[in-house]
A = this chain, B = another copy of it.
């Protein structure tokens, strides 16, 4: 089945690896902005966004893959003078803002998240919102609080890297929940458990595959596994239909 990987860092993958993903059915991916060292100035992120929305999309095309660029300030990548980055985002919104969100929920992170959400709301742009490994429940609560405060339309937000404990709460608040299948995050079996519990309607599957040894085929492997347990309609939603709806393609 064709698959849509809704959260990758495709930059970290070579073109042969992208091709291998396409061969496994992963023909569309979102590539989220992230910089592996803390940026020292705004141009680092602005140029990263320019790279993702031009060069990286073209690299995808060469590999037979459609790459959608999500651009935004990751909580671990807040540069001094980040207002200039917000100005760029306002003038050049991409398919989605991402990944934005909270890592430690420091006041600086909350401020940057709020400003980006307000901008996304104003411009009507979907947002991919990161939650961390550490203190996931506490920080997810904080994310939900910020979303509430900004009054974000539910359809515009996926709260990503949800787990067995946070998925229900995210859905109860009306948002999409992102399920990241990767060692250290979710297993295929946990995805099945979550879909059994909450249905297939509001979940987006992804691998978060990027600069290191992450599994390339997490989404296609998971889709194959889910086909053994759920109807074709349910699996299609998880494989690509929900992604199309969220990103309004």
Copies of this protein, total = 2
A15 CA / B14 CA spacing, docked (Å): 8
- Judged by a CB distance under 8 angstroms, whether A55 is at the interface is yes
Q: Which of A17, A39, A43, A55 has the most CB of B within 10 A?
A: A43
CB-CB under 8 A from A55, the residues of chain B are 36-37, 211
Question: In the complex, how many angstroms separate the beta carbon of A39 from the nearest chain B beta carbon?
Answer: 5
Question: Does B15 contact A37, Cβ atoms closer than 8 Å?
Answer: no
A48 nearest in chain B by CB position: B44
Question: In the complex, how many angstroms separate the beta carbon of A16 from the nearest chain B beta carbon?
Answer: 6
A212 nearest in chain B by CB position: B15
Indicate the size class of the contact surface on chain A: 20 to 34
- Judged by a CB distance under 8 angstroms, whether A91 is at the interface is no
Question: Does B211 contact A59, Cβ atoms closer than 8 Å?
Answer: yes
A84 nearest in chain B by CB position: B41
In the complex with contacts A12-B14, A59-B211, A46-B36 CB distance below 8 A: no
A47 CA / B79 CA spacing, docked (Å): 11
A81 nearest in chain B by CB position: B43
Mark A residues whose CB is within 8 Å of B: 12-17, 35-37, 39-44, 46-47, 50-51, 54-55, 59, 62, 79, 211-213, 216
